[in-house]
């Protein structure tokens, strides 16, 4: 038994490249956010190892890389171009394949690759169009091959609903079946009895000698291409109009849902009781009041009440401090914190009245249910007018309140002062050496 485990430790020479390939894939998976240099280095290492490995190693590497979020396009195209037994899981599940690579795989590979791509969860319109074109052209390729090669055995199996126009060969500007590579006689035979009269009755030698027959065949082929191209353009225009109408309907429905949600949110906010202030808001109120940062204090008070800054400013404009005391008690701020806020905001409330201060009297008078309901009514009234309030503008919250630094000199004083570079290290007046 131990000999078998030892054999596993030293792989055979045929498996060396498989082991190196899987090790490379594993090391790439360990990179959570690969850089551009990492992707370039992985692309250079992966292609020769992948092509030299066995099918089983390729299948395992493709399945492992199907979960990667970032892959080089060359690696994705290489794996997607492999046989379907290797590339199936990668084409179906990999989120790292771009739309351009998917379209190229659909156009180059067979129907099995297209079926695997069609099973992806998120297909873009570009990939869907490529799959539809592939599906539509797959039915006509078999009839074209039979017409141009002279093998008519498959024509007997054609459905009765197939019209004469559908049996005509499909000509494309680029590809193996161009007009120049088609014999005029074969093309004339494929046109059917209605169009055979357009071709001259001379033999092959006369066709080769006379270039006008080839020109006529090319003209007929161009007309067929134009006729076939007109129908998809019309259908494409109708699809665009339908898509535009669908987007407009969805946008109207979205706006209606938003309006209903906004009305429901306002009703819920009007009926909801006033929530107590969080410990963070209470600490910020004390801090900003003691440091004198009135703009930050106003903003914090508005956030605690769930109202606009205009309501907080009206509360602070009451120099008696009564409205601020009502608001602090309604928010559930502790009495000692409310006392500090009132003392710092309105210094006259720190005056003693007997054994207590004026701020203590305001807090004691404001701490009841009626006053809390009054503050909640202020917030509800402010919420009803919230839609008409302009958006908040930026204000320098600290520039106007910061005290002047005595070390900073005005510009005029600096201009009259002698240059420090010329006076540094020199003695003044008569102290200088003669």
**Extents of the domains making up the chain:** 2-140, 144-243, 279-388
Q: With a cut of 60, say whether residue 305 has pLDDT above it.
A: yes
Instruction: Identify the pLDDT of residue 153.
Output: 42
- pTM of the shown model: 0.33
* pLDDT reported for residue 380: 84
Contact 89, 96 (CB under 8 A): no
Contact (Cβ atoms closer than 8 angstroms) between residue 88 and residue 116: yes
User: 39-61 b/e with 16+ CB inside 10 Å = b?
Assistant: beebbebbeebbeebeeebbbbb
Say if CB 282 and CB 337 are below 8 A apart.
yes
DSSP 33: S
pLDDT digits (tens, 9 = 90+) for 325-362: 999 998 989 989 999 999 999 999 988 888 888 888 88
CA 421 to chain centre: 57
Q: Are 195 and 220 in contact (CB under 8 A)?
A: yes
Residues 76 and 103 sit within 8 Å (Cβ to Cβ): no
pLDDT, tens digit, for every residue of 392-419? 554 555 545 555 666 665 555 555 555 5
How many other CB atoms are found less than 10 A from the CB of residue 177? Answer: 15
The two three-digit tokens of residue 236, written as one number: 């494409």
Please report the pLDDT score of residue 183 as a whole number: 46
Nearest CA-CA partner of 232 in 129, 123, 161: 129
First CA to last CA distance, the chain: 103
What is the pLDDT, as a whole number, of residue 176?
43
Q: What is the mean pLDDT of residues 111-139?
A: 83
Q: Are 147 and 169 in contact (CB under 8 A)?
A: yes
For the ranges 16-30, 217-231, 365-379, which has the lowest average pLDDT? 217-231
DSSP class of residue 352 equals: E
Q: What is the pLDDT of residues 157-171, one digit of tens each?
A: 433 333 334 333 444
Q: Which span out of 48-62, 211-225, 247-261 was modeled with the highest average pLDDT?
A: 48-62
| Of 178, 166, 189, 170, nearest in space to 218 by CA | 178
Please return the burial class of 35, using the count of CB atoms within 10 Å of its CB with bins 0-12, 13-18 and 19+: exposed
Closest C-alpha to 47, from 84, 72, 15, 11: 72
Question: Which pLDDT score is estimated for 316?
Answer: 92
3-state percent helix, strand, coil for the chain, nearest multiple of 5: 70, 0, 30
Q: Residue 240 — pLDDT band, cuts 50, 70, 90?
A: confident
Question: Strand 352-353 to strand 356-357: parallel, antiparallel, or no bridges (unpaired)?
Answer: antiparallel
């Amino acid at each position: 038994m131990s000999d078998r485990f030892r054999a596993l430790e030293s792989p055979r020479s045929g498996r060396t490249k498989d082991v190196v390939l899987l090790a490379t894939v594993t090391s790439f998976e360990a990179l959570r956010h690969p850089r551009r240099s990492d992707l370039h280095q992985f692309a250079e290492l992966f292609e020769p190892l992948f092509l030299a490995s066995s099918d089983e190693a390729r299948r395992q590497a493709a399945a492992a890389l199907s979960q990667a979020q970032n892959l080089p396009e060359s690696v994705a195209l290489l794996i997607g171009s492999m046989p379907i037994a290797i590339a199936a899981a990668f084409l179906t599940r990999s989120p790292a394949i771009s739309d351009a690579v998917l379209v190229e795989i659909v156009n180059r590979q067979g129907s099995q690759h297209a079926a695997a791509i069609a099973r992806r969860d998120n297909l873009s319109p570009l990939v869907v169009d490529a799959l539809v074109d592939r599906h539509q052209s797959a039915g006509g390729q078999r009839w074209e091959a039979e017409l141009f090669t002279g093998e008519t055995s498959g024509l007997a199996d054609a459905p009765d609903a197939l019209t004469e126009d559908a049996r005509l060969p499909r000509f494309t500007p680029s590809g193996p079946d161009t007009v120049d590579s088609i014999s005029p006689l074969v093309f004339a035979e494929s046109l059917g009895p209605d169009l055979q009269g357009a071709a001259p009755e001379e033999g092959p030698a006369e066709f080769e000698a006379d270039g006008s027959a080839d020109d006529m065949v090319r003209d007929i082929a161009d007309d067929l291409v134009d006729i076939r191209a007109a129908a998809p353009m019309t259908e494409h225009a109708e699809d665009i109009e339908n898509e535009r109408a669908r987007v407009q309907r969805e946008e109207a429905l979205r706006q209606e849902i938003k309006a209903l949600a906004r009305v429901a949110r306002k009703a819920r906010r009007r009926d909801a009781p006033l929530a107590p202030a969080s410990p963070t808001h209470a600490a910020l109120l004390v801090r900003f009041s003691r440091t004198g940062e009135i703009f930050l204090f106003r903003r914090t008070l508005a956030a605690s009440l769930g109202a606009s800054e205009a309501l907080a400013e009206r509360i602070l404009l009451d120099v008696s401090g009564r409205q601020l005391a009502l608001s602090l008690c309604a928010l559930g701020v502790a009495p000692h914190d409310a006392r500090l806020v009132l003392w710092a905001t309105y210094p006259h409330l720190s005056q003693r009245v007997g054994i207590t201060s004026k701020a203590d009297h305001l807090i004691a008078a404001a701490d009841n249910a009626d006053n809390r309901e009054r503050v909640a009514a202020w917030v509800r009234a402010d919420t009803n007018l919230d839609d008409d309030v302009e958006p908040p503008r930026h204000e320098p919250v600290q520039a106007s309140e910061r005290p002047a630094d005595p070390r900073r000199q005005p510009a005029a004083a600096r201009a009259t002062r002698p240059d420090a570079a010329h006076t540094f290290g020199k003695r003044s007046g008569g102290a200088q050496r003669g």
